[in-house]
């Protein structure tokens, strides 16, 4: 099933999946988890994947993020084809992505600023002279200007997730992949975090592909793709003009 929005004047899609299938296990325990998926995600779109546990949502994120090798079909991310890519190719593709996880995955021994700096270090091209300035600016954007020197044990759950968002966005990747980023947060904090992600990504023309069960944040999505048993079985979407107007 193919579900996509074509934005007027949009360039090549940031994500394009064609005939994507995937299996786990070997021999008699081999189990298919994705079935011939087609999906196109344009620049600036915020797309949520929802569905029961085990339906293939996170598998899609790991394939798009270059964290897992493509078995069958095509996965094109920011102009790079990942099918048959070697490890060097997968690493290069990861540098086009910012990752946000259910657990913020901050390093306990690093300050908020140092954690955000890791988002630049992951690019593999060395740090520029203005690296710390960029990181401080990004922390200010997410509302943590006065927290740059704090360690994670001095930050609330919502603040830690904001640091994770800053780390994911500081290198200005074309794509952000988020896996249940609100699962450990209360209702208001979860909404604040996703609203922030939506606002910053939209301002930069960044595409967001997010796995979530959290119906409290569904209004921040341009599209919600419903998955079941490894297939996309439904799509809810907002008016495309809303996306286009915010990208101008």
Strand-pair category, 72-77 with 80-81: antiparallel
Asked whether 127 and 146 are in contact (CB, 8 A), the reply is no
The answer, yes or no, to whether residue 10 has pLDDT greater than 60, is no
Q: What is the pLDDT of residues 155-180, one digit of tens each?
A: 998 899 889 989 998 988 999 999 99
For 1-93+221-248, the fitting CATH number among 1.10.3720.10, 1.10.240.10, 3.40.50.300, 3.30.200.20 is 3.40.50.300
Confidence label for 185 from pLDDT (cuts 50, 70 and 90)? confident
Are the C-beta atoms of residues 194 and 217 closer than 8 Å to each other?
A: yes
Q: Give residue limits of the domains in the chain.
A: 1-93+221-248
Predicted TM-score of the model (pTM): 0.85
Closest alpha carbon to 48 in 31, 61, 35 = 61
Q: What is the pLDDT of residues 93-108, one digit of tens each?
A: 998 899 988 777 899 9
Residues in CB range of 8: below 8 A, 6 or more apart = 240, 244
Average pLDDT of span 134-150: 92
| Cα–Cα dist 4/209, whole Å | 13
């Amino acid at each position: 099933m193919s579900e996509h929005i074509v934005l007027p004047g949009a360039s090549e899609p940031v994500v394009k999946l064609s005939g994507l299938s995937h299996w786990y296990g070997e021999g008699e325990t081999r189990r298919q988890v994705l079935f011939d998926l087609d999906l196109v995600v344009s620049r600036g779109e915020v797309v949520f994947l929802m569905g029961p546990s085990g339906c293939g949502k996170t598998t899609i994120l790991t394939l798009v993020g270059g964290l897992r090798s493509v078995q069958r079909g095509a996965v094109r991310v920011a102009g790079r084809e990942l099918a048959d890519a070697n490890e060097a190719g997968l690493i290069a593709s990861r540098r086009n992505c910012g990752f946000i996880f259910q657990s913020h995955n901050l390093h306990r021994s690093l300050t908020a600023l140092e954690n955000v700096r890791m988002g630049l270090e992951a690019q593999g091209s060395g740090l520029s002279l203005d690296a710390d300035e960029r990181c401080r600016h990004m922390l200010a954007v997410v509302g943590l200007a006065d927290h740059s020197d704090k360690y994670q044990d001095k930050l609330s759950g919502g603040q830690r997730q904001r640091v994770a968002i800053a780390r994911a966005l500081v290198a200005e990747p074309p794509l952000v992949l988020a896996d249940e980023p609100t699962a450990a947060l209360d209702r208001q904090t979860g909404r604040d975090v996703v609203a922030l992600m939506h606002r910053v990504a939209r301002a930069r023309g960044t595409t967001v592909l997010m796995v979530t069960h959290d119906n409290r944040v569904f209004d921040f999505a341009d599209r919600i793709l419903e998955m079941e048993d490894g297939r996309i079985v439904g799509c809810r979407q907002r008016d495309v003009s809303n996306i286009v107007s915010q990208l101008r």
